Amino acid sequence: MFECYRQAAEQQARLDGGKTGHDDPFISFYNGVPRPLAEEALRRGGRGESTVVWDTPWPLDAWPDVPTRFILCKDDRFFPAAFMRRLAQHRLGTVPDEVPGCHCVALSHPGQLSDLLVSYLDRPGTAGSP
């Protein structure tokens, strides 16, 4: 899967002038976030996340039978939108709900993200379906 991601990121970088996968976090992660807010996020960045998730196999044979949604951030320069659409279809069998915003969509488009999340209360759906 990593090879598919790498190819998708390289392809998108060719289309957007090298912004996707850029080393500068203001370009790759915080595009669309007001600069002072992005700087504050970077200052608070060391969240101490565990690396266990990268080294541990998924423990279940299948996804739980619960309503599943996938939110795709259309302006994400870390996970290209085309790659994520394919991934959502392949792994979850669903079409993603798309919102404007970067990798840090809660900072770049909090209103649109929260509106979408709240809308799920009115349309619960079924597992694996949009």
Contact 73, 101 (CB under 8 A): yes
Per-residue pLDDT tens over the stretch 57-92: 888 898 788 888 999 999 999 999 999 999 999 988
What residues of the chain score a pLDDT lower than 50? 126-130
Rounded to 5 degrees, what are φ and ψ at 71? -105, 125
Say what the pLDDT of residue 53 is. 78
Say what the pLDDT of residue 64 is. 82
Say what the pLDDT of residue 78 is. 93
Say what the pLDDT of residue 46 is. 63
Contact 113, 71 (CB under 8 A): yes
Identity of the residue numbered 54: W
Domain boundaries, the chain: 2-41+67-119
Task: Say how far apart CA 39 and CA 33 lie, in whole Å.
Answer: 9
Write the DSSP string, 25-62: HHHHT-TTS-HHHHHHHHHT------SHHHHS----SS
The whole-model pTM stands at 0.79
Contact 69, 94 (CB under 8 A): yes
